[in-house]
């Protein structure tokens, strides 16, 4: 349990659109959301990123009013909404499956919320035309939903919410049903729309690429709690927990014991006797067990001993090439049987990296991340 709070740094005097304090939700003894506190200023794109079952959907449903928290508070523009029903809250929600009405036209879908909110009918056409122009679907009002592409349906679902001018737009993995190429396009489009409308977006996803590309700030959620909140760059380059280091991006991992420390540089001997140099900003006593994380893109490949001096250098055997265009990788095996993944540069000679070939991988100590290994707690004997 924790009362740790996270707030986005938006400068002095910026009003928070959304704030949660010690928000909790239990299902029996299971803590789906465990005393989560955070705040989001006006106009931010805030993503909640985590694996399935981490509590992000439960958190979003509490913000929308579909579930009541067991404890804590939710404030929108400084006002508590705990006792406010979903249809009275200044929020709207885009669902994963969009929930568009297939028998209605685009304009009728958008008008549905306006009718529910009691907006005079004489104002509908002007509001619908304006919002369709902003989502780059002018003159689409009379089209049927089944005449639209997947990306166009996404924009209609967003337009239906944003035409009501909500304080906060909640998005429940809305890109999950799209194919890969359309998902990539919609990431850019969602970011553009958020800037265009200047509306606070709260976006939940298990896809780190979506969160990193679109967000001003990302909360990494695990087991009902926020592990870390920060900019995409902070989470990637300066993770504060081993979970964040392993969940954001790809990493090779070594577990070992600290042999010694000189300044920030620590010497680690792995379980298989491999000696590595890493860096730690904290004093790490000899004998401490730590996990060392090495990003694939910081590792250099050379066919012979590297000419430039490197803190770490291993002779390895090529297992296979994983070709993926600009994101191609090489899998190699160390003498101890560990499999490492190395990012391949665009200029890589694939023919020279045939399986079975001996090559070298190297990297600097300051390119590693390391974290103490939590001790295993055992239940007391009865």
Residue 178 banded pLDDT, cuts 50, 70, 90: confident
CB proximity list for 229: less than 8 A, separation 6 or greater: 6, 8, 38, 217, 218, 219, 220
Query: Does 189 fall in a domain?
Result: yes
The rounded distance, in Å, linking the Cα atoms of 195 and 11 is 18
Residues 278-334 have pLDDT tens digits of 998 788 899 999 999 999 999 999 998 887 789 999 999 999 999 988 889 999 999
Looking at the fold, whether 334 and 271 belong to one and the same domain comes out as yes
Range of the domain at 230: 5-246
The widest CA-to-CA distance across the chain, in whole angstroms, is: 77
Query: Does 129 fall in a domain?
Result: yes
Looking at the fold, whether 136 and 230 belong to one and the same domain comes out as yes
pTM over 0.85: yes
Residues 79-116 have pLDDT tens digits of 999 999 998 999 999 988 888 999 899 999 999 989 98
Q: Is residue 293 classed exposed, middle or buried when 0-12, 13-18 and 19+ CB atoms within 10 A define those classes?
A: buried
Query: Does 232 fall in a domain?
Result: yes
Query: Does 379 fall in a domain?
Result: no
Looking at the fold, whether 199 and 272 belong to one and the same domain comes out as no
Looking at the fold, whether 216 and 232 belong to one and the same domain comes out as yes
Distances (CA, A) of 182 to 138, 249, 323: 20, 22, 22
Query: Does 311 fall in a domain?
Result: yes
Question: Of the candidates 231, 246, 261, which is a domain's last residue?
Answer: 246
The rounded distance, in Å, linking the Cα atoms of 3 and 16 is 19
Residues 21-39 have pLDDT tens digits of 999 999 999 999 999 999 9
Query: Does 382 fall in a domain?
Result: no
| CA-angle at 294, arms to 292 and 295, nearest 5° | 150
Q: 30: how many CB neighbours lie within 10 A of its CB?
A: 11
Identify whether the C-beta of residue 27 lies closer than 8 Å to the C-beta of residue 8. Answer: no
Query: Does 381 fall in a domain?
Result: no
Looking at the fold, whether 107 and 240 belong to one and the same domain comes out as yes
Question: Of the candidates 229, 246, 263, which is a domain's last residue?
Answer: 246
């Amino acid at each position: 349990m924790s009362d740790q709070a996270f707030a986005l740094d938006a400068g002095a005097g910026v009003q928070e659109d959304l704030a949660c304090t010690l928000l909790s939700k239990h299902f029996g003894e299971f803590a789906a959301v465990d005393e989560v506190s955070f705040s989001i200023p006006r106009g931010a794109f805030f993503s909640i990123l985590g694996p399935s079952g981490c509590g992000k959907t439960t958190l979003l449903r509490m913000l929308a009013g579909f579930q009541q928290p067991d404890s804590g508070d939710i404030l929108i523009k400084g006002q508590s909404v705990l006792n406010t029903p979903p249809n009275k809250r200044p929020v709207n929600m885009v669902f994963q499956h969009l929930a568009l009405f297939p028998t209605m036209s685009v304009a009728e879908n958008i008008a549905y919320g306006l009718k529910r909110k009691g907006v005079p009918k004489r104002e509908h056409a002007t509001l619908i035309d304006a919002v369709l122009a902003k989502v780059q679907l002018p003159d689409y009002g009379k089209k049927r939903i089944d005449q639209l592409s997947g990306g166009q349906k996404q924009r209609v679902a967003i337009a239906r919410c944003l035409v009501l001018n909500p304080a906060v737009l909640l998005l429940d993995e809305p890109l999950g049903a799209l194919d890969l190429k359309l998902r990539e396009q919609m990431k850019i489009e969602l970011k553009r729309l958020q800037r265009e409308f200047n509306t606070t977006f709260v976006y939940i996803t298990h896809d780190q690429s979506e969160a990193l590309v679109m967000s001003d700030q990302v909360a990494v959620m695990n087991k009902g709690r926020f592990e870390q909140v920060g900019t995409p760059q902070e989470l990637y380059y300066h993770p504060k927990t081993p979970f964040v280091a392993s969940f954001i991006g790809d990493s090779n991992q070594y577990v070992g014991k600290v042999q010694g420390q000189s300044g920030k540089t620590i010497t680690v001997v792995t379980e298989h006797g491999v000696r590595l140099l890493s860096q730690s900003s904290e004093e790490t006593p000899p004998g401490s067990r730590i996990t060392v994380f090495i990003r694939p893109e910081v590792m250099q490949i050379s066919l012979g001993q590297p000419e430039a001096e490197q803190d770490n250098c291993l002779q390895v055997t090529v297992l296979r090439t994983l070709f993926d265009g600009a994101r191609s990788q090489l899998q190699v095996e160390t003498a101890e049987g560990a499999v490492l993944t190395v990012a391949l540069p665009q200029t890589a000679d694939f023919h020279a990296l045939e399986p079975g070939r001996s090559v070298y991988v190297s990297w600097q100590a300051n390119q590693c991340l390391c974290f103490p290994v939590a001790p295993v707690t055992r239940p007391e004997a009865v």
